[in-house]
Amino acid sequence: MSKLLGGLPEEFSIPIVLVQHRSKDSDRLLVQLLQDATGLKVCEIEDKDVLRAGTVHVAPADYHVLVESGYLSLTLEEPVRFSRPSIDVMFTSAADAYGPATIGVILTGANEDGASGLADIAKRGGCALIQDPKTAEIKMMPEAALKATPTAEVFALDDLAPRLIELSGQPVEVRRRKAV
């Protein structure tokens, strides 16, 4: 994740909502580690946070994240696929709120969470991106996502940030400035 975020310009025009499975007892170290890797603002989500461009909104441990039009909500609903936060819950809510404007990205992982949510994004006309399972540290999650969404675009980790920049529609000079 650090490598992907580090490849995005500080002026990135799309809000990012990041869900990573972690212990309910984990602290905010993830936010600091990610902040050290990127010029984007990184913050842990609080209920009703406004979605902001150039910001990485990190799901807090033990809460599902719901994407709504313009903001994020937290919920303590039951775990999905033994996970809370659940990638599926976040992806499906994002697809419901933003339809074809939604971009979902699945990276390395050790279960199938995110696969059905990514399929929901694709069914609503959004863009589904998957890290190539051959380049993933743990390939179970990207393989499950590819099985659920065979039309998804597949990229090596190094190639995901340039694709996101392209999808953002940002001017070429912003892309070049970061690439230098």
Q: Which regions in the chain score pLDDT beneath 50?
A: 172, 174-180
Q: Which residues contact 10 (CB under 8 A, 6 or more apart)?
A: 39, 40, 54, 178
The per-residue pLDDT for 179 is 39
pLDDT for the residue 171: 59
DSSP designation for 77: P
> 50-70: per-residue pLDDT in tens?
999 999 999 999 999 999 999
Euclidean distance between CA atoms 67 and 93, whole angstroms: 5
Q: Are 56 and 69 in contact (CB under 8 A)?
A: no
CA–CA distances in Å: residue 114 to residues 34, 35, 48, 52, 154: 21, 24, 23, 23, 15
Contacts of 141 (CB under 8 A, 6+ apart): 106, 107, 108, 109, 110, 111, 112, 113, 114, 115
| pLDDT at position 135 | 94
Q: What is the pLDDT of residue 102?
A: 97
pLDDT (0 to 100) of residue 175: 42
pTM equals 0.92
